[in-house]
Amino acid sequence: MNMVNVKEYMTADILMGPNSARILEELLAKHPLQLKRESRVLDLGCGKGLTSLILAKETGAKVYANDLWIPAEDNAKRFSEWGVGEQILPVHGDASELSLDEGQFSVLVSVDSYHYFATKEGYFQEKILPLLGDEAVVLIGIPGMKDEYDGRSEELLSEWLGNEAYMFRSPKEWKEIIGRHERIEKTETWEMSCFDLAWKEWLATDNEYAMGDRQFFETIIKPYTCFVGICIRIK
Ligand SMILES: C[S@@+](CC[C@H](N)C(=O)[O-])C[C@H]1O[C@@H](n2cnc3c(N)ncnc32)[C@H](O)[C@@H]1O
């Protein structure tokens, strides 16, 4: 993946957390995608659309850019300014209530957002699986706990995250949460290598949330957390 093409968009205005482009870069390096122009990719919880832009450029496919907090009109304006307005369709709404045609997506990507809405067992089977076509690939990169601190997120992270600490789960736990289904061929979860770089680039911005995170990085974020990579292959 050529990061030079997207470096200009990795700014305090566009980033909403640790650099999502780095997280996506690792997901795509480990699990390269070969898509056709008519293939469809769903970017779930895309925020301000940096990952959608990269997916459009890297795969050439049609990207559906879903988000809840960012209005679709704002993302549509950005995509048009970025020259990908024809290729990316903004879809506003809760990832649990999307009215999208079943079986249409070859790929689903979710970077730094899946943990907000998918910690309930059965979510994947009920809400995600119906949207995926045969042989689809799901790539997820989210913040979580290192395996050795499994199950201790509320005890260890509450000072930083308040009542959102429960969302942080380990690679081992995410494998269980995704669960099983006859259409799932394989689920792999791992601790990602991009942690230091993605955090460094985020903390270097003057985004107000980055400034908030800075005071917890050495004492909480770095010792206890990681990014969890998840790849699910559908039969
Ligand atoms: C930390 S931001 C990350 C955004 C983007 N993926 C990125 O990495 O820059 C988390 C995103 O998750 C989205 N989100 C949270 N709950 C959601 C839900 N129920 N459905 C869809 N998106 C959701 C928010 O709208 C927000 O943009």
The predicted-structure confidence for 74-104, as pLDDT tens digits, reads as follows 999 999 999 999 999 999 999 999 999 999 9
pLDDT at 4 over 90: no
Query: In ligand 1, which atom is closest to the CA atom of 14?
Result: 9
pLDDT band at 62 (very low <50, low <70, confident <90, very high): very high
Instruction: Give pLDDT, residue 88.
Output: 98
Instruction: Give pLDDT, residue 1.
Output: 75
- Residue 151 CA to ligand 1 center (angstroms) comes to 23
- Residue 44 CA to ligand 1 center (angstroms) comes to 8
Query: In ligand 1, which atom is closest to the CA atom of 45?
Result: 22
pLDDT at 2 over 80: no
Q: What homologous superfamily is domain 3-234 in, according to CATH? A: Vaccinia Virus protein VP39 (3.40.50.150)
Give the number of other Cβ atoms within 10 Å of residue 21's Cβ.
Answer: 22
Q: Say what percent of the chain tops pLDDT 90.
A: 97
| Ligand 1 within 6 A of CB of 229 | no
- Residue 26 CA to ligand 1 center (angstroms) comes to 19
Rg (CA), the chain: 17
Domain ranges of the chain: 3-234
Instruction: Give pLDDT, residue 16.
Output: 98
Q: Residue 147: name the closest of 46, 228, 37, 27 by CA.
A: 228
The residue type of 74 is D
Q: Give the CA distances from residue 209 to residues 36, 144, 222, in Å, rounded to whole numbers and listed in that order.
A: 38, 18, 17
Per the CB < 8 A criterion, the answer to whether 15 and 54 are in contact is no
pLDDT band at 156 (very low <50, low <70, confident <90, very high): very high
Per the CB < 8 A criterion, the answer to whether 173 and 151 are in contact is yes
pLDDT at 9 over 80: yes
The residue type of 12 is A
pLDDT at 215 over 80: yes
Strand-pairing partners, residue 228, are: 142, 191
Q: Which of 23, 42, 44, 68 for a ligand 1 pocket mutation test, highest count of atoms within 8 Å of Cβ?
A: 68
pLDDT band at 3 (very low <50, low <70, confident <90, very high): confident
b/e per residue, 149-181, with b = 16+ CB within 10 A?
beeebeebbeebbeeebebbbbbebbbebbeee
pLDDT band at 199 (very low <50, low <70, confident <90, very high): very high
Instruction: Give pLDDT, residue 97.
Output: 93
The predicted-structure confidence for 159-191, as pLDDT tens digits, reads as follows 999 999 999 999 999 999 999 999 999 999 999
The predicted-structure confidence for 107-149, as pLDDT tens digits, reads as follows 999 999 999 999 999 999 999 999 999 999 999 999 999 999 9
Mean pLDDT throughout 52-67? 97
Instruction: Give pLDDT, residue 120.
Output: 95
